[in-house]
Amino acid sequence: MAAKDGAKSQEDYKLKDMKPELGERWPHGGQRGGTGWIGSERAASTYDLVEQMFYLYVRVVKAKDLPPNPVTSNCDPYVEVKIGNYKGKTKHFEKRTNPEWNQVFAFSKDKVQSSTVEVYVRDKEMVTRDEYIGKVVFDMREVPTRVPPDSPLAPQWYRLEDRRGESKKRGEVMVAVWLGTQADEAFPDAWHSDASSVQGEGVQSVRSKVYVSPKLWYLRVNVIEAQDVEPSDRSQPPQAFVKVQVGNQILKTKLCPNKTTSPMWNEDLVFVAAEPFEEQFFLTVENKVSSAKDEVMGRLISPLNVFEKRLDHRAVHSKWYNLEKFGFGALEGDKRHELKFSSRIHLRVCLEGGYHVMDESTLYISDVKPTARQLWKQPIGILEVGILSAQGLSPMKTKDGKATTDPYCVAKYGQKWVRTRTIIESYNPKWNEQYTWEVHDPCTVITLGVFDNCHLGGSEKSNNGAKVDARIGKVRIRLSTLEADRIYTHSYPLLVLQTKGLKKMGEVQLAVRFTCLSLAHMIYLYGHPLLPKMHYLHPFTVNQLDSLRYQAMSIVAARLSRAEPPLRKEIVEYMLDVDSHMWSMRRSKANFFRIVSVFSGLLAMSKWLGDVCYWKNPLTTILFHILFFILICYPELILPTTFLYMFLIGLWSFRFRPRHPPHMDTKLSWAEAASPDELDEEFDTFPTSKGQDVVKMRYDRLRSVAGRIQMVIGDIATQGERFQALLSWRDPRATCLFVIFCLFAAMILYVTPFKIVALVGGMFWMRHPKFRSKMPSAPSNFFRKLPSKADCML
């Protein structure tokens, strides 16, 4: 039973093929008189990677000549659109007889049971029941159909009718009613009947939106030197350093080694800045008075947009900047003395436009373009993604005592983020929204995540008690694994690793198509560096890249959280894998076994060669001998034979090529085999929030793992030092023997043809087991007895 359950769970975690009905399928004929508005041969639009969903749209534009209330002599009008049990209301205006709303209502046609559309105009009353002004009724059978790219349907004026519809009343309302799909441009900003229960600020958070990441720059500050900096105690020369702050980023130079009023550093500090530049450049020159006290001797404040923008590796002109007095010197108020004598600092500051500011790991990077737009190349392809639906989602929160989920999907590729609308209270939501991105490099990755909306303005509360949008799962698709112009329709498992273990949260259905615009350009990119050339001409250190990436992620999260509706910080961090660098025993095991898997082919080859040498299969050994003789006699065939062999292997492997994009692999990730304590450690905060006993146990475990790694590294170092000892005369007898051996080997090889040497060496290596000894060989014994530096370590 356990084996069956394990096999079932493994099958449940795999990718599944789908066959959805994609594209537009309009009914033959039309909606009026048999011939209708839409012909059956009309070409379908490019909205072809999603299943078509029909909506009834009602656009309420404005009203005029509305009668005032006979009691209050005022009119506070609003419009109510009613179809069956669904009602949508506009906002009301106070004391206005000619209001303008310009609001669109969208009703899912599958859920509409009524045959009429009723548009009521009412007068808002604070105490009594809202006063009826008039209504307009539309027959569903008479509603026209509109297909983009047709122009929007023109709204018309309609006279208001009384309750029974028998007579006209004073006042008119401008309305347009049509039948369309989710491809309609009115769809994203429309009020949806599916979200009719959402009120207040939550209305904005249920709509689909497109976001753009802020334009990020690297700010390079080369601190060269300063002149005439004076501390408060002028009897002692200062030991100065420079501190620079840009937003929340603070970096310091090293202390000047000499105590002087004209210190020198010549040190680079690099920051991340985002357009529009809101932060100030704040620099201070400080004196290290003691280990616990720093004294500010001068400061410089400047906006970032005054600095030069550099697009390549050309030198930037340095500049002297006057420092403002700080502290006692600033309070003296002797302006004439300040003009004649001023502390100043020598800087070379520029905004780097030739780099790509990385806010995600290079392992699954989605954008490789430099910051400066004039350096961008033409796109090589188009990526289209249809976010179809999800199935079997887990309940993520409780609302009014009932478990529920309000899911939406977020996709990120390049600088463009998209967010689908939120489907209220559904475990099987259908979005059917299609988005498009330009592709500048095929070796990039698109990331899609599914989340639960916890900001609908109600009493909902997530399962973990926090008011954050809970993660349901994530999918990554590498574009280079996709065939051009093919539509991939698959159901991806949504897997989340929790402290209790691996859990499948549901499945998300996607349709993906990568269209190649220039095959020659795409082939050229495979030999081109992944990142812009500035990353290789003036590279950053590994520590700098890690720090800058974290700062870039923080800036992107902060800027997107200020949009409306906000793309919240927890979503951006999850999509960008902000914690991927943190220690994890599970990841360490997974990476170890990845290395083992990489070298498994070499191990299998060495085992096969061992079997050949030991004549496990005499026929194979004889054939290998024949091939060896041929290659010895004709050495010029070695390289062509090798490449031909790899070509044939590639052709053979083509039959077994993957038929679908890769997805999250639970076995590769070592997710199911991780122990509860390892998962608890992985999800621990940094710094840790655990008790002393737990931290001590984990520290001891980490020491044992690190001890094994230390032994392996030590063994590798020992072997390398033994190679060095061959000629270092640390062991004079061993080095003497090796030198004499080298002399005789050189004399023999000078007079012996190489073919003979290779033939003799190969035959000796493949000799029959009868001529082999189980004892180690003489060269192996000699090498193992060579000295290393291990005996010199404390």
- Confidence (pLDDT) at 785: 87
**Does the structure show a pLDDT above 50 at 523?**
yes
Amino acid letter, 576: L
Confirm if 343 and 262 have CB atoms less than 8 A apart. Answer: no
**Does the structure show a pLDDT above 60 at 328?**
no
Q: Which of 249-258, 305-314, 459-468 has the lowest mean pLDDT?
A: 459-468
- Between CA 523 and CA 532, with CA 527 as vertex, the angle to 5 degrees is 110
- Confidence (pLDDT) at 690: 84
Structural Rg of the chain based on CA atoms? 36
The Cα–Cα gap between 593 and 584 comes to: 14
Quote the strand ranges of 65-115, DSSP E: 77-83, 86-89, 100-108
**Which H/E stretch holds residue 408?**
strand 407-413
The stretch 128-150 carries a mean pLDDT of: 84
Confirm if 350 and 310 have CB atoms less than 8 A apart. Answer: yes
Q: Count Cβ neighbours within 10 Å for each residue of 532-555 and write b for 16 or more, e otherwise.
A: bebbeeeebeeeeeebbbebbbbb
pTM of the model: 0.83
Rama region for 693: left / alpha / beta (φ>0; ψ in -120 to 50; rest): alpha
The percentage of residues in the chain with a pLDDT greater than 90, rounded to a whole number, is 34
- Between CA 385 and CA 455, with CA 106 as vertex, the angle to 5 degrees is 70
* pLDDT tier at 333, thresholds 50, 70, 90: very low
**Which H/E stretch holds residue 753?**
none
Which long-range contacts does 297-303 make (Cβ < 8 Å, 24+ apart)? 297/229, 297/230, 297/231, 297/238, 297/240, 297/323, 297/326, 297/327, 297/343, 298/226, 298/229, 298/323, 298/324, 298/325, 298/326, 298/343, 298/345, 299/323, 299/324, 299/326, 300/324, 300/345, 303/277
- Confidence (pLDDT) at 129: 77
The Cα–Cα gap between 575 and 365 comes to: 11
Q: Between 125 and 517, whose confidence is greater? A: 517
The stretch 380-389 carries a mean pLDDT of: 93
* pLDDT tier at 110, thresholds 50, 70, 90: confident
- Confidence (pLDDT) at 41: 37
Structure-block tokens of residue 375: 């350096």
Instruction: Give the highest mean pLDDT range of 31-35, 378-382, 628-632.
Output: 378-382
Helix, strand, or coil (residue 205): helix
- Between CA 429 and CA 272, with CA 579 as vertex, the angle to 5 degrees is 105
Strand partners, 511: 386, 489
Q: Between 448 and 93, whose confidence is greater? A: 448
The three-state (H, E, C) secondary structure of 305-352, written as one string: HHCEEECCCCCCCCEEEECECCCHHHHCCCHHHHHHCCCEEEEEEEEE
Structure-block tokens of residue 174: 């401008």
Confirm if 558 and 359 have CB atoms less than 8 A apart. Answer: no
pLDDT 10s digits, 530-545:
899 999 999 999 889 9
* pLDDT tier at 364, thresholds 50, 70, 90: confident
Confirm if 345 and 223 have CB atoms less than 8 A apart. Answer: yes
- Confidence (pLDDT) at 15: 84
Rama region for 171: left / alpha / beta (φ>0; ψ in -120 to 50; rest): left
Strands 100-108 and 191-192: parallel
Strands 280-290 and 209-212: unpaired
Closest CA to 23 of 487, 427, 372: 487
The Cα–Cα gap between 160 and 121 comes to: 8
Strands 344-352 and 308-310: parallel
DSSP sequence for 430-469: EEEEEEEEEES-SS-EEEEEEEE---SSSS-EETTS-SS-
Structure-block tokens of residue 484: 């051009």
pLDDT 10s digits, 550-559:
999 999 999 9
**φ/ψ (deg, to 5) at 505:** -95, -5
Confirm if 414 and 420 have CB atoms less than 8 A apart. Answer: no
